[in-house]
Amino acid sequence: MIELDPTKMKDWQIAEAAEDNGLRPIEDLVAELGLQKDEWTPYGRVLAKVDVTKVLRRVGEGRKGKYIDVTAITPTALGEGKTTTTLGLVEGLGRLGKKVIGCVRQPSGGPTFNIKGSAAGGGLAQVVPLTSLSLGLTGDMDAITNANNIAMVALNSRMQHERNHDDAWLAERGLKRLDIDPARIQFRWAMDLCAQGLRNIEIGRGGKLDGFNCESGFYISVASEVMAILAMSSDLKDLRERLGKIIVAYSKDGKPVTTRDLEVDGAMCAIMVNAIKPTLMQSLEGQPMFVHAGPFANIAIGQNSVVADKLACALGDYVVTESGFASDMGFEKFWNIKCRCSGLKPDAVVLVATVRALKAHGGAPAVKAGLPLDPVYSTENLELLEKGCDNLLAHIDIIRKSGVQPVVCLNAFYTDTEAERELVRKVAEGAGARFAVSNHWLKGGTGAEELAREVIAACDEPNDFRYLCDLDEPLKDRIEKQVKEVYGGDGVDFEPVAMEKLERLQADPATARLPICCAKTQYSLSHDPKLLGRPKGWRMPVRDVLVYQGAGLIVPVAGEIKLMPGTSASPAYRRIDVDTETGKVKGLF
């Protein structure tokens, strides 16, 4: 085996070297999982699509494996390494002889070509092949984008024809006038890139044959309801039903107009027939990884798919899944939305932190792109670290509200001192959490064995998993409870438009019991990204409330959060290129 050294190689170079040295053939992975011939379809030598329905019909949906979620403290510009830790834990459990399967989201093209980069992990804890993962994989992202946009095509076309023709003309073509209110269009176009210039646009300019002239816009594909539906659906039939419930607009008399009303839901599902099947990949150390769905956690549900987790839990002894961003965002949605939908309950929750990130929450100088890191991040400073541990304690408390005691994983950096690590250990264990230092980035599975043992021990302990709210509680009360008990705020201030929508949703039995999926900044427990640590004495402003009836979610929109991110001045695409001799992509991270 070729030596892979993260201290001397970039992530894409490690992935490329591993791929050149020979990844496990896909036939080996499917044999290890016990899949039958008609249950999977190969995509080249090392990828496959897996038919969840066929597998679960044969083996049953009962949970075989221990179920572990990985979350983190509030993100900082330094990164916490949550996906890297997820992969490290998978590799560590594999090193201990456990039959383990990992489940992660598919990266979005927005971050891949922007600041964050691909979501493949890093160092010696990665999903491979990196290029396939980062650049389209098996086509799911294109299917989601196209399914979203065919609905928008149908909506604008219908508005054009209703404007241009009378009821008799429509009836001849089997159409009934929907009388869509152009001021109450709920749906937008989708693109899987960070394109701030498309957030708000005008379409249909020109003549009467050039579409319906109205205001419109784009959101990033991973924030779309179609993506949320893929993550939430239990099978193809469920996907088909959910796609037909999407509210795209309201009529002039206030009735919802759905994709079913536009008769486009069948076409949307046809585009996504293959997308409901998870993609089978592998870790750098050869453990099977299911990659499926990719919604953001700040503006969407932030989970890989229900079907991938169900599939893994039916096949593996240990299943490691990941929730996006911090526990107030990704884990909260895993806990109160995904687990309700899947029926699965976690045996353990891993909370990832780093010394550097905790120092940032303790008041260390802000990290600025392109400028050297302040020395405080690489030298011992117990005072800043201890202050920053308030953020760690907040996230421990959030996880404990679910009835599960977390395992705090300190993702190791070479600049950490022993005193700093011991301080974090003391804080974590003092709050009742388990604790482990993991060096998976540098050493892969070997470096994650301590973490793996703590997780195994946590899985063997009983827990009292419970949801934060009962769905019979009023929507307004549930939002208030989430802000107070999860985020630590004093309450919620609803703007008039948000309150009006909330009251209308509460009055409708079809929406009154839907789970809450808050859209807010990921950079703070509050709505304000400048409030680091564990902020107190604040209230959350909710400026809008969206309904994703197909996904089954009510989405309060807090602060200035955008559903279409922007591209930075120094994006990753400047460093991505192709070796024209070999055709290999370089520069991904």
Question: Could you tell me if 100 and 318 are in contact, meaning their C-beta atoms sit under 8 angstroms apart?
Answer: yes
Give the residues across from 104 on adjacent strands: 291
Strand order in the sheet with 492-494: 492-494, 540-548, 553-558
Q: 187 is written with which tokens?
A: 């749906």
Alpha carbon separation from 306 to 147, 199, 329 (Å, rounded)? 20, 30, 17
Respond yes or no on whether the N-terminal peptide bond of residue 129 is cis (omega within 30° of 0).
Answer: yes
Q: 115 is written with which tokens?
A: 């600041």
E-strand stretches of 98-163: 100-104, 121-122, 125-128
Task: Decide: helix, strand or coil at residue 123.
Answer: coil
Alpha carbon separation from 217 to 186, 196, 210, 213 (Å, rounded)? 10, 10, 17, 13
Alpha carbon separation from 82 to 307, 410, 560 (Å, rounded)? 22, 11, 25
How far the first Cα of the chain sits from its last, in Å, is 23
**Residues annotated as catalytic (active site), given as ranges:** 82, 84, 105, 116, 297, 325, 413, 441
For residue 324, the tally of other CB atoms under 10 A from its CB is 28
Give, in degrees to the nearest 5, the angle at Cα 19 between 16 and 25: 160
Name the amino acid, one letter, at 48: A
Name the amino acid, one letter, at 113: F
Residue 388's nearest CA partner among 376, 370, 398, 400 is 376
Q: 145 is written with which tokens?
A: 């984008």
> Could you give the maximum distance between any two Cα atoms of the chain, in Å?
80
Place of tokens 């959490």: 433
Give the residues across from 101 on adjacent strands: 319
Q: 540 is written with which tokens?
A: 């959350």
Using DSSP bridges, classify how beta strands 407-411 and 348-353 pair: parallel, antiparallel or unpaired.
Answer: parallel
Name the amino acid, one letter, at 568: S
Give the residues across from 352 on adjacent strands: 72, 409
E-strand stretches of 492-586: 492-494, 540-548, 553-558, 577-578, 585-586
Question: Which residues are CB-neighbours of 145 under 8 A, at least 6 positions away?
Answer: 190, 191, 192, 221, 224
Residue 552's nearest CA partner among 486, 487, 485, 505 is 505
Name the amino acid, one letter, at 363: G
Question: Could you tell me if 16 and 8 are in contact, meaning their C-beta atoms sit under 8 angstroms apart?
Answer: no
